[in-house]
Amino acid sequence: MAGRGADEILKLILNAGSKVLSQSDKVAAAKAVTQMVKPVSKSALKANADISIPNISSSKITKGLLDPINYSDVKLSRPIESYAPRSVVSNIPLTVDKQLSLEDLVDSYITPTYWDRSNAGQTLLGVGDVDLQRGYEMLGGMGFMRGPAAQADGAMTASASAIIKRYQDMAEMAAKEGRDLNLIPLTMPPSALDFQGTTSRIAGDLLQQSEPKRGVVKAFDSVMTDRIGKSYPGLLSNELDGFLANASPDQRKAFIRYIGSEDAAKIGINTDVSGAARYAFTDPAQILSQPAYGGYTVAKLKSGADSLVSNPQFPHSDFNTQLRGTHMGSFAAPIYQGDLFPTSFAKYNAQFDKRGRPLTEANKSYALNLQQPMELVTRQMADKEQETLRYLRELGVIP
Protein backbone atom coordinates (compact mmCIF):
# COMPACT_ATOMS: atom_id res chain seq x y z
CA MET A 1 0.00 0.00 0.00
CA ALA A 2 1.47 3.34 -1.05
CA GLY A 3 1.67 6.24 1.36
CA ARG A 4 1.02 5.64 5.07
CA GLY A 5 0.87 2.13 6.49
CA ALA A 6 -2.28 0.57 7.94
CA ASP A 7 -0.78 0.60 11.46
CA GLU A 8 -0.11 4.33 11.23
CA ILE A 9 -3.65 5.07 10.08
CA LEU A 10 -5.10 2.85 12.83
CA LYS A 11 -3.10 4.71 15.46
CA LEU A 12 -4.28 8.07 14.16
CA ILE A 13 -7.93 7.01 14.20
CA LEU A 14 -7.79 5.43 17.66
CA ASN A 15 -6.19 8.61 18.99
CA ALA A 16 -8.89 10.74 17.36
CA GLY A 17 -11.58 9.68 19.81
CA SER A 18 -12.41 11.93 22.74
CA LYS A 19 -12.80 9.08 25.21
CA VAL A 20 -10.62 6.18 26.33
CA LEU A 21 -11.73 3.01 24.55
CA SER A 22 -12.13 -0.32 26.27
CA GLN A 23 -10.15 -3.26 24.93
CA SER A 24 -13.22 -4.67 23.17
CA ASP A 25 -13.95 -1.26 21.60
CA LYS A 26 -10.34 -1.04 20.40
CA VAL A 27 -10.65 -4.45 18.78
CA ALA A 28 -13.89 -3.42 17.05
CA ALA A 29 -12.34 -0.15 15.87
CA ALA A 30 -9.22 -1.92 14.60
CA LYS A 31 -11.40 -4.34 12.63
CA ALA A 32 -13.28 -1.45 11.01
CA VAL A 33 -10.07 0.43 10.19
CA THR A 34 -8.66 -2.74 8.62
CA GLN A 35 -11.64 -2.69 6.28
CA MET A 36 -11.13 1.01 5.57
CA VAL A 37 -7.51 0.69 4.48
CA LYS A 38 -8.06 -2.33 2.25
CA PRO A 39 -7.89 -1.64 -1.50
CA VAL A 40 -11.21 -0.13 -2.55
CA SER A 41 -13.67 -2.51 -4.23
CA LYS A 42 -16.11 -1.74 -7.01
CA SER A 43 -19.03 -1.79 -4.60
CA ALA A 44 -17.39 0.98 -2.53
CA LEU A 45 -17.48 3.31 -5.53
CA LYS A 46 -21.20 3.78 -5.03
CA ALA A 47 -22.29 6.95 -3.28
CA ASN A 48 -22.62 6.93 0.51
CA ALA A 49 -20.31 3.92 0.96
CA ASP A 50 -18.72 5.27 4.16
CA ILE A 51 -17.35 2.88 6.77
CA SER A 52 -18.15 3.83 10.36
CA ILE A 53 -15.80 3.22 13.29
CA PRO A 54 -17.48 1.83 16.43
CA ASN A 55 -17.41 4.21 19.41
CA ILE A 56 -15.53 6.92 17.48
CA SER A 57 -17.58 9.85 16.18
CA SER A 58 -17.30 10.43 12.43
CA SER A 59 -16.60 14.10 13.20
CA LYS A 60 -13.37 13.01 14.90
CA ILE A 61 -12.20 11.26 11.76
CA THR A 62 -11.33 14.46 9.96
CA LYS A 63 -10.57 15.12 6.31
CA GLY A 64 -6.92 15.71 7.16
CA LEU A 65 -6.65 12.37 8.94
CA LEU A 66 -7.96 10.50 5.90
CA ASP A 67 -6.21 12.65 3.31
CA PRO A 68 -3.26 14.65 4.74
CA ILE A 69 -1.95 15.95 1.38
CA ASN A 70 -5.41 16.95 0.06
CA TYR A 71 -5.89 14.68 -2.92
CA SER A 72 -9.61 15.32 -2.51
CA ASP A 73 -11.37 18.67 -2.17
CA VAL A 74 -13.93 17.16 0.21
CA LYS A 75 -13.77 14.58 2.99
CA LEU A 76 -13.16 11.03 1.76
CA SER A 77 -15.11 7.97 2.88
CA ARG A 78 -11.88 6.08 3.66
CA PRO A 79 -8.09 6.75 3.76
CA ILE A 80 -6.65 7.86 0.45
CA GLU A 81 -4.28 4.86 0.55
CA SER A 82 -7.18 2.52 -0.23
CA TYR A 83 -7.08 3.95 -3.77
CA ALA A 84 -3.52 2.76 -4.43
CA PRO A 85 -2.74 2.14 -8.11
CA ARG A 86 -2.07 -1.17 -9.82
CA SER A 87 0.21 -0.75 -12.81
CA VAL A 88 2.76 -2.48 -15.02
CA VAL A 89 6.00 -1.18 -16.50
CA SER A 90 5.49 0.46 -19.89
CA ASN A 91 7.00 -0.88 -23.11
CA ILE A 92 9.71 1.78 -22.77
CA PRO A 93 10.74 1.85 -19.09
CA LEU A 94 12.39 4.87 -17.50
CA THR A 95 16.17 5.07 -17.52
CA VAL A 96 17.93 4.41 -14.21
CA ASP A 97 18.02 7.43 -11.91
CA LYS A 98 21.26 8.88 -10.55
CA GLN A 99 22.08 10.44 -7.18
CA LEU A 100 22.74 14.17 -7.34
CA SER A 101 23.44 16.93 -4.86
CA LEU A 102 23.88 20.69 -4.93
CA GLU A 103 27.58 19.94 -4.51
CA ASP A 104 27.55 18.77 -8.14
CA LEU A 105 25.92 22.03 -9.28
CA VAL A 106 28.10 24.60 -7.48
CA ASP A 107 28.92 27.59 -9.75
CA SER A 108 26.19 26.64 -12.24
CA TYR A 109 22.74 28.20 -12.52
CA ILE A 110 19.42 26.64 -11.55
CA THR A 111 15.97 27.82 -12.57
CA PRO A 112 12.57 26.60 -11.33
CA THR A 113 9.56 25.15 -13.05
CA TYR A 114 6.41 23.76 -11.47
CA TRP A 115 5.36 20.31 -12.62
CA ASP A 116 2.49 18.12 -11.52
CA ARG A 117 3.21 14.90 -9.62
CA SER A 118 2.02 12.47 -12.32
CA ASN A 119 3.69 9.08 -12.64
CA ALA A 120 5.71 7.95 -15.68
CA GLY A 121 7.00 4.75 -17.23
CA GLN A 122 3.92 2.80 -16.11
CA THR A 123 0.56 1.76 -17.52
CA LEU A 124 -2.23 2.09 -14.97
CA LEU A 125 -4.51 -0.97 -14.94
CA GLY A 126 -6.47 -0.60 -11.72
CA VAL A 127 -7.30 1.47 -8.66
CA GLY A 128 -7.40 -0.57 -5.47
CA ASP A 129 -9.24 -3.76 -6.40
CA VAL A 130 -11.14 -2.06 -9.22
CA ASP A 131 -9.99 -3.04 -12.71
CA LEU A 132 -10.09 -0.07 -15.05
CA GLN A 133 -11.88 -0.44 -18.37
CA ARG A 134 -8.65 0.28 -20.27
CA GLY A 135 -4.97 0.81 -19.53
CA TYR A 136 -3.76 4.39 -19.12
CA GLU A 137 -0.21 5.20 -20.21
CA MET A 138 1.52 7.53 -17.74
CA LEU A 139 4.17 9.85 -19.20
CA GLY A 140 4.99 12.21 -16.28
CA GLY A 141 5.50 14.67 -14.67
CA MET A 142 8.99 14.55 -13.41
CA GLY A 143 9.59 11.16 -14.97
CA PHE A 144 9.50 12.85 -18.38
CA MET A 145 13.24 13.48 -18.08
CA ARG A 146 13.86 9.70 -18.08
CA GLY A 147 11.04 8.64 -20.37
CA PRO A 148 10.66 7.82 -24.08
CA ALA A 149 11.09 11.41 -25.31
CA ALA A 150 14.29 11.78 -23.30
CA GLN A 151 15.67 8.47 -24.57
CA ALA A 152 14.79 9.11 -28.21
CA ASP A 153 15.50 12.83 -28.61
CA GLY A 154 17.20 13.97 -25.41
CA ALA A 155 14.08 15.98 -24.52
CA MET A 156 14.13 17.18 -20.92
CA THR A 157 11.02 19.34 -20.91
CA ALA A 158 7.90 19.95 -22.98
CA SER A 159 5.84 23.11 -22.79
CA ALA A 160 4.32 25.96 -24.79
CA SER A 161 6.70 27.46 -27.34
CA ALA A 162 6.95 30.80 -25.47
CA ILE A 163 8.13 29.08 -22.29
CA ILE A 164 10.63 26.93 -24.16
CA LYS A 165 11.98 30.08 -25.86
CA ARG A 166 12.52 31.60 -22.43
CA TYR A 167 14.51 28.54 -21.33
CA GLN A 168 16.60 28.75 -24.51
CA ASP A 169 17.43 32.42 -23.87
CA MET A 170 18.39 31.68 -20.26
CA ALA A 171 20.61 28.76 -21.30
CA GLU A 172 22.35 31.05 -23.80
CA MET A 173 22.92 33.69 -21.10
CA ALA A 174 24.46 31.07 -18.82
CA ALA A 175 26.63 29.70 -21.65
CA LYS A 176 28.06 33.16 -22.33
CA GLU A 177 29.36 33.13 -18.74
CA GLY A 178 30.76 29.64 -19.24
CA ARG A 179 28.13 28.14 -16.94
CA ASP A 180 25.37 25.53 -17.24
CA LEU A 181 21.67 26.12 -16.65
CA ASN A 182 19.86 23.37 -14.75
CA LEU A 183 16.07 23.05 -14.69
CA ILE A 184 14.63 22.01 -11.32
CA PRO A 185 10.93 21.08 -11.28
CA LEU A 186 9.17 21.91 -8.01
CA THR A 187 6.21 19.95 -6.67
CA MET A 188 2.65 21.19 -7.07
CA PRO A 189 -0.54 20.33 -5.14
CA PRO A 190 -2.40 17.18 -6.25
CA SER A 191 -5.05 19.31 -7.95
CA ALA A 192 -2.46 20.36 -10.57
CA LEU A 193 -3.03 16.91 -12.10
CA ASP A 194 -6.48 18.07 -13.23
CA PHE A 195 -5.05 19.72 -16.34
CA GLN A 196 -3.84 16.37 -17.70
CA GLY A 197 -6.24 14.32 -19.76
CA THR A 198 -5.28 11.09 -18.01
CA THR A 199 -6.59 12.24 -14.62
CA SER A 200 -10.07 13.03 -15.88
CA ARG A 201 -10.13 9.82 -17.93
CA ILE A 202 -9.38 7.73 -14.82
CA ALA A 203 -12.09 9.61 -12.91
CA GLY A 204 -14.57 9.07 -15.75
CA ASP A 205 -13.72 5.37 -15.84
CA LEU A 206 -14.27 4.96 -12.08
CA LEU A 207 -17.47 7.00 -12.14
CA GLN A 208 -18.91 4.89 -14.95
CA GLN A 209 -18.20 1.80 -12.85
CA SER A 210 -19.93 3.25 -9.78
CA GLU A 211 -23.26 2.32 -11.39
CA PRO A 212 -24.94 5.69 -10.79
CA LYS A 213 -28.73 5.77 -10.87
CA ARG A 214 -30.53 7.20 -13.88
CA GLY A 215 -31.53 10.38 -12.05
CA VAL A 216 -27.94 10.94 -10.89
CA VAL A 217 -26.63 10.56 -14.44
CA LYS A 218 -29.23 13.00 -15.77
CA ALA A 219 -28.39 15.62 -13.14
CA PHE A 220 -24.64 15.16 -13.61
CA ASP A 221 -24.86 15.43 -17.41
CA SER A 222 -26.94 18.57 -17.14
CA VAL A 223 -24.26 20.28 -15.05
CA MET A 224 -21.45 19.08 -17.33
CA THR A 225 -23.20 20.28 -20.47
CA ASP A 226 -23.54 23.73 -18.89
CA ARG A 227 -19.91 23.84 -17.76
CA ILE A 228 -18.16 22.05 -20.61
CA GLY A 229 -20.40 22.59 -23.62
CA LYS A 230 -22.71 20.67 -25.90
CA SER A 231 -19.82 18.54 -27.18
CA TYR A 232 -19.82 16.68 -23.85
CA PRO A 233 -21.14 13.19 -24.75
CA GLY A 234 -22.59 12.11 -21.41
CA LEU A 235 -21.32 10.17 -18.40
CA LEU A 236 -22.29 6.72 -19.63
CA SER A 237 -21.36 7.33 -23.27
CA ASN A 238 -18.78 5.09 -24.92
CA GLU A 239 -17.32 8.32 -26.31
CA LEU A 240 -16.55 9.85 -22.91
CA ASP A 241 -12.96 8.59 -22.74
CA GLY A 242 -12.11 9.90 -26.20
CA PHE A 243 -13.73 13.22 -25.40
CA LEU A 244 -11.72 13.68 -22.19
CA ALA A 245 -8.49 12.63 -23.92
CA ASN A 246 -8.91 15.48 -26.41
CA ALA A 247 -10.66 18.03 -24.20
CA SER A 248 -9.09 21.36 -23.29
CA PRO A 249 -7.38 21.70 -19.89
CA ASP A 250 -10.26 23.86 -18.67
CA GLN A 251 -12.82 21.26 -19.71
CA ARG A 252 -10.89 18.50 -17.92
CA LYS A 253 -10.58 20.63 -14.81
CA ALA A 254 -14.31 21.40 -14.83
CA PHE A 255 -15.12 17.69 -15.13
CA ILE A 256 -12.95 16.32 -12.34
CA ARG A 257 -13.45 19.21 -9.93
CA TYR A 258 -17.22 18.98 -10.12
CA ILE A 259 -16.99 15.24 -9.40
CA GLY A 260 -15.08 16.06 -6.21
CA SER A 261 -17.44 18.76 -4.93
CA GLU A 262 -20.13 19.02 -2.28
CA ASP A 263 -22.63 19.86 -5.03
CA ALA A 264 -21.89 16.56 -6.76
CA ALA A 265 -22.33 14.69 -3.48
CA LYS A 266 -25.82 16.20 -3.14
CA ILE A 267 -26.96 14.63 -6.41
CA GLY A 268 -25.54 11.19 -5.50
CA ILE A 269 -22.02 11.17 -6.96
CA ASN A 270 -19.25 9.37 -5.07
CA THR A 271 -16.93 12.34 -4.58
CA ASP A 272 -14.03 10.03 -3.62
CA VAL A 273 -13.57 9.38 -7.34
CA SER A 274 -11.83 12.72 -7.90
CA GLY A 275 -9.19 12.21 -5.21
CA ALA A 276 -8.83 8.54 -6.15
CA ALA A 277 -7.96 9.44 -9.75
CA ARG A 278 -5.34 11.96 -8.65
CA TYR A 279 -3.82 9.54 -6.15
CA ALA A 280 -3.67 6.62 -8.58
CA PHE A 281 -1.95 8.82 -11.18
CA THR A 282 0.70 10.10 -8.76
CA ASP A 283 4.39 9.24 -8.86
CA PRO A 284 4.95 6.97 -5.80
CA ALA A 285 8.00 9.02 -4.81
CA GLN A 286 5.76 12.08 -4.45
CA ILE A 287 2.73 10.50 -2.74
CA LEU A 288 3.27 12.32 0.56
CA SER A 289 5.29 15.26 -0.76
CA GLN A 290 4.36 18.79 0.19
CA PRO A 291 4.11 21.42 -2.58
CA ALA A 292 7.07 23.65 -3.45
CA TYR A 293 9.93 21.18 -2.99
CA GLY A 294 12.49 20.42 -5.70
CA GLY A 295 15.06 17.80 -6.52
CA TYR A 296 12.97 14.80 -7.56
CA THR A 297 14.63 15.30 -10.94
CA VAL A 298 17.11 17.80 -12.42
CA ALA A 299 18.23 18.39 -16.01
CA LYS A 300 21.00 20.46 -17.57
CA LEU A 301 19.43 22.34 -20.48
CA LYS A 302 21.16 22.41 -23.85
CA SER A 303 22.01 25.74 -25.46
CA GLY A 304 22.51 26.47 -29.14
CA ALA A 305 20.61 26.11 -32.39
CA ASP A 306 19.97 22.38 -32.05
CA SER A 307 18.46 22.60 -28.56
CA LEU A 308 14.91 22.37 -29.90
CA VAL A 309 13.42 18.99 -30.81
CA SER A 310 12.05 19.84 -34.24
CA ASN A 311 10.25 16.56 -35.01
CA PRO A 312 9.75 14.71 -31.73
CA GLN A 313 9.50 10.94 -31.96
CA PHE A 314 7.29 11.03 -28.87
CA PRO A 315 5.10 14.15 -28.99
CA HIS A 316 3.64 15.27 -25.67
CA SER A 317 -0.15 15.05 -25.52
CA ASP A 318 -0.51 18.46 -23.83
CA PHE A 319 2.48 20.57 -25.00
CA ASN A 320 3.72 21.37 -28.48
CA THR A 321 7.44 22.11 -27.98
CA GLN A 322 10.32 20.10 -26.49
CA LEU A 323 13.80 21.18 -25.40
CA ARG A 324 16.93 19.02 -25.23
CA GLY A 325 19.29 18.56 -22.35
CA THR A 326 20.92 15.98 -20.09
CA HIS A 327 19.30 14.30 -17.11
CA MET A 328 21.52 14.97 -14.10
CA GLY A 329 19.75 12.89 -11.45
CA SER A 330 17.76 13.49 -8.26
CA PHE A 331 18.60 14.72 -4.76
CA ALA A 332 18.72 12.30 -1.83
CA ALA A 333 16.02 14.43 -0.19
CA PRO A 334 13.86 17.14 -1.79
CA ILE A 335 14.80 20.73 -0.96
CA TYR A 336 12.38 23.54 -0.07
CA GLN A 337 12.00 26.21 -2.77
CA GLY A 338 13.26 28.96 -0.46
CA ASP A 339 16.54 27.10 0.07
CA LEU A 340 16.97 26.46 -3.65
CA PHE A 341 16.29 30.09 -4.59
CA PRO A 342 17.36 32.11 -1.54
CA THR A 343 17.97 35.35 -3.46
CA SER A 344 14.39 35.53 -4.69
CA PHE A 345 12.97 34.47 -1.34
CA ALA A 346 14.88 37.18 0.48
CA LYS A 347 12.72 39.60 -1.50
CA TYR A 348 9.47 37.66 -1.09
CA ASN A 349 9.89 37.42 2.68
CA ALA A 350 9.87 41.20 2.86
CA GLN A 351 6.78 41.60 0.65
CA PHE A 352 3.10 41.71 1.58
CA ASP A 353 -0.11 41.08 -0.31
CA LYS A 354 -2.82 43.67 -1.03
CA ARG A 355 -4.27 43.18 2.45
CA GLY A 356 -0.93 43.80 4.12
CA ARG A 357 -0.34 40.14 5.04
CA PRO A 358 2.93 38.26 4.46
CA LEU A 359 2.98 36.27 1.23
CA THR A 360 1.85 32.66 1.50
CA GLU A 361 3.87 29.77 0.12
CA ALA A 362 1.47 29.65 -2.83
CA ASN A 363 2.03 33.39 -3.44
CA LYS A 364 5.78 32.84 -3.42
CA SER A 365 5.55 29.87 -5.79
CA TYR A 366 3.44 31.93 -8.18
CA ALA A 367 5.90 34.82 -8.10
CA LEU A 368 8.88 32.50 -8.54
CA ASN A 369 7.26 30.88 -11.56
CA LEU A 370 6.48 34.25 -13.14
CA GLN A 371 9.91 35.76 -12.53
CA GLN A 372 11.83 32.63 -13.59
CA PRO A 373 15.04 33.56 -11.73
CA MET A 374 18.48 32.16 -12.45
CA GLU A 375 20.04 31.32 -9.09
CA LEU A 376 23.78 30.68 -8.92
CA VAL A 377 24.42 27.62 -6.73
CA THR A 378 26.93 28.58 -4.04
CA ARG A 379 29.17 26.62 -1.73
CA GLN A 380 27.01 27.80 1.19
CA MET A 381 23.90 26.29 -0.40
CA ALA A 382 25.69 22.98 -0.95
CA ASP A 383 27.00 22.91 2.62
CA LYS A 384 23.50 23.55 3.99
CA GLU A 385 22.14 20.62 1.99
CA GLN A 386 24.87 18.30 3.32
CA GLU A 387 24.12 19.38 6.89
CA THR A 388 20.41 18.62 6.36
CA LEU A 389 21.22 15.21 4.86
CA ARG A 390 23.38 14.29 7.84
CA TYR A 391 20.49 15.17 10.15
CA LEU A 392 17.97 13.15 8.11
CA ARG A 393 20.29 10.13 8.11
CA GLU A 394 20.67 10.34 11.89
CA LEU A 395 16.86 10.26 12.16
CA GLY A 396 16.66 7.31 9.76
CA VAL A 397 14.54 9.28 7.28
CA ILE A 398 16.91 8.54 4.41
CA PRO A 399 19.58 5.80 4.01
- Please indicate whether residue 211 or residue 47 has the higher confidence score (pLDDT): 211
Q: In 3D, which of 72, 331, 304, 303 has the Cα closest to residue 185?
A: 331
Question: DSSP states of 369-381 as a string?
Answer: HHH---EEP-HHH
CA distance 309 to 301: 12
Q: What is the pLDDT of residues 345-378, one digit of tens each?
A: 999 988 998 899 999 888 999 999 999 999 999 9
pLDDT value of residue 13 = 82
Question: DSSP states of 46-106 as a string?
Answer: STT-----TTS-TTTS-HHHH-TT-SSSS--SS-GGGG-EEEEE-SSPPPPP-EE-GGGGT
The number of helix segments (H) and strand segments (E) in the chain equals: 15, 12
> How many residues in total does the chain contain?
399
User: CA neighbours within 13 Å on the CB side: how many for 301?
Assistant: 32
Mean pLDDT (whole number) for 176-204: 96
Which whole-number Å values give the CA distances from 47 to 118, 128, 264, 270, in the listed order?
27, 17, 10, 4
Q: What is the pLDDT of residues 322-345, one digit of tens each?
A: 999 999 999 999 999 999 999 999
pLDDT value of residue 17 = 67
Mean pLDDT (whole number) for 186-210: 96
**Percent share of the chain, pLDDT over 70:** 99
CA distance 96 to 115: 20
* pLDDT of 189 above 70: yes
* pLDDT of 19 above 80: no
Amino acid at position 147, single letter: G
* pLDDT of 29 above 50: yes
For residue 318, give every residue at least 6 positions away whose Cβ sits within 8 Å of its Cβ, in sequence order, or none.
158, 195, 196, 197, 249
- Please indicate whether residue 29 or residue 221 has the higher confidence score (pLDDT): 221
Number of other CB atoms surrounding residue 58 within 10 Å: 11
Confidence of residue 48 (pLDDT cuts 50, 70, 90): confident
Confirm if 216 and 269 have CB atoms less than 8 A apart.
yes
pLDDT value of residue 2 = 59
Q: What is the pLDDT of residues 205-241, one digit of tens each?
A: 999 999 999 999 999 999 999 999 999 999 999 999 9
Angle (CA) 79-256-50 rounded to 5° is 30
The region of weakest confidence among 34-38, 201-205, 209-213, 293-297 is 34-38
Mean pLDDT (whole number) for 240-253: 96
Mean pLDDT of the chain: 93
* pLDDT of 260 above 70: yes
Confirm if 325 and 299 have CB atoms less than 8 A apart.
yes
Q: What is the pLDDT of residues 63-118, one digit of tens each?
A: 999 999 999 999 999 999 999 999 999 999 999 999 999 999 999 999 999 999 99
Sign for the CA dihedral angle at 139, 294, 188, 170 comes to negative
pLDDT value of residue 1 = 42
* pLDDT of 173 above 90: yes
* pLDDT of 33 above 90: no
Question: DSSP states of 137-167 as a string?
Answer: EEE-SGGGGGSHHHHHH-EEEEE-HHHHHHH
Mean pLDDT (whole number) for 158-163: 93
pLDDT value of residue 53 = 82
Which whole-number Å values give the CA distances from 245 to 233, 255, 265, in the listed order?
13, 12, 25
Q: What is the pLDDT of residues 305-327, one digit of tens each?
A: 899 998 999 998 778 899 999 99
